[in-house]
Amino acid sequence: MTQSLDWRAQLALDADVLVVGGGASGLAAAVVAARQGAKVVVLERYGFCGGGAVAGLSGTLCGMYAATDNRVAQPLQMVHGFLDEFVAAMEYRGGLAEPVRYGKTFTRVHDPLVWREAADALLMEAGVQVVYHTTVVGALVEGGERIEGVTAYTKEGPATIRAKVTVDASGDADVVAMAGFPSFVGQDGRVQNPTMIFRLMGVDTARFLATYGEDTIMGEEVSALIREKGAGNGYDLPRAKIWLFPTTRPGELLCNCTRVIGADGRELNPLFARDFTEAEIEGRRQVREYARFFRDHLAGCEASFVNDTGVQVGVRQTRQAKGITTLRNADILAGAKFRDGIARSPWPIELHSGAKPRVEWLLDDVYEIPYGCFVPERGQGLLTAGRCLSAEHEAVASARVTAQCFSYGHAIGHAAALAALEGIAPRDIDGADLRALLNRDGARLD
């Protein structure tokens, strides 16, 4: 009889707060919880923190600044708190560019290598125990309702990590799904397509900017050229509306332009192994096509070459936890405010289906995200953080970006520490009390 064997030693860890995933929200949650006196363990599947911003090479700190129709307005920062601390850590290391125009708002381009180092420093200073190269394989569930930690795979051997409170910052609501708690996927199972972002070196950025302007969303001149040259003229360029960002490094552009869909025309869902694999292969193929087109046709790119791609395709949407509150599509453009709002966002709705992304702006305002979006509908001892928040399809197309993920983590770090150290059920924590703690930390929610 064939058996599945693993004779390696078992690794066992205990914590007050366990954070699954080291993206922006997981990093913030871990550091904030540790600063409240909690013993914190972070499990991360890569050898570095950063999530989609680093592994997916999204490359920008989006969601910081107000959107406005005033084209001469200067960047107006609307989001604060832990984000400010991370920005300072990146600036200190020379890893964050000044704000650049992004349509009606601004964003900041970061160096993903510096992001890793800044994250390491923040975690070490806070006394967080980080276990890299670790994949969670199961949820520890007591009585069908209480999460007591997870089981995981490490190169040292199988691991059991027990905690008073677990934060699912996996991006994909993995712990929620493993425990069998309510979740949902996109809009009736359909998600926004992934993308393969890449960096282009050898660019004469001065000439590029002089030709195409300061807006990182390329104008109609570039889109028309892609449509003209890409259809039946030797290039396969599925998306005409593209974004090109000068970075912190000389002669480099960060390129967000691929549209990765399946050979059968479907929006690929990275929750499925087959789709995820197809997305990686198709993404790399498209990178070479766009890079060749840029070299042949864009000013300043004549001597350019691909420097690197994301470690994986950038994932915009997969599984989300069903929370006790759900952020609605209508809340975004209405600039909705909530008594228990623990984060704010000025970022537009961005839907990436089709050849041209659809962008809907919230001008000169912010909306707020309630605490209940991170408290699972079922389950004790569990919180979520990051893009797996409970939000409708179009709402998550705004609420998933980096600055907001830092804000979510900031709030959930406080909530997890309160729950673990004072024995309070996460669902019994008043979001208004969290809001007060966040304001004390400089989040400026009021």
Q: List CB contacts of 186: < 8 A, sequence separation 6 or more.
A: 192, 269, 317, 318, 393
11-61+110-190+317-440 is a CATH 3.50.50.60 domain: yes
Q: In DSSP terms, which residues pair with 11 in a beta bridge? A: 159
Q: What is the pLDDT of residue 356?
A: 61
Token pair for 254: 């960060």
| pLDDT exceeds cutoff 90 at 187 | no
> What pLDDT score was predicted for residue 213?
95
pLDDT of 265 over the 60 cut: yes
445 and 344 Cβ atoms separated by less than 8 Å: yes
Joined together, the tokens standing for residue 7 give 């004779």
Where are the chain's structural domains?
Answer: 11-61+110-190+317-440, 198-309
Q: Write the pLDDT tens digit of every residue in 203-260.
A: 999 999 999 999 999 999 999 999 988 767 789 999 999 999 999 999 999 999 999 9
Average pLDDT, the chain: 95
Confidence of residue 352 (pLDDT cuts 50, 70, 90): low
Per-residue pLDDT tens digits for 136-169 = 999 999 999 999 999 999 999 999 999 999 999 9
What's the distance, Cα to Cα, between the start and end of the chain in Å? 65
Q: Helix axis angle, 82-92 relative to 24-35, nearest 10°? A: 110
Side-chain half-sphere CA neighbours of 431 within 13 A:
20
Q: What is the pLDDT of residues 18-39, one digit of tens each?
A: 999 999 999 999 999 999 999 9
66-123 pLDDT, tens digit per residue, is 999 998 999 999 999 999 999 999 999 999 999 999 999 999 999 999 999 999 999 9
pLDDT tens, position by position, 375-416: 999 999 999 999 999 999 999 999 999 999 999 999 999 999
pLDDT for 42 equals: 98
Q: Say what the pLDDT of residue 233 is.
A: 76
* Angle, helix 220-230 to helix 273-297, in steps of 10 degrees: 100
Token pair of 390 as six digits? 């409970």
